Amino acid sequence: MPELFKLVEEKFSETFQEKQWIYCCLFSLIINDKEITKITITDHTWRKKGRERITKELILNVLKKLNGRKVKQTNYPKRRVFKREGIDYQDKKYKIVFWFENNDPNWIWIRVCHQQD
Tens place of pLDDT per residue across the chain (117 aa)? 468 999 999 999 898 888 899 999 999 999 999 999 999 998 876 666 655 567 888 889 999 999 999 999 887 777 789 999 999 999 999 999 999 888 788 999 998 888 887
Strands 18-31 and 5-13: antiparallel
CB atoms within 10 A of CB 20: 16
CB-based contacts of 51, cutoff 8 Å, min separation 6: 45, 114, 115
Q: What are phi and psi of 48, to 5 degrees?
A: -85, 145
Q: Distance (Å, rounded) from C-alpha 34 to C-alpha 46?
A: 27
Q: What is the pTM of this model?
A: 0.86
CB 96 within 8 A of CB 87: yes
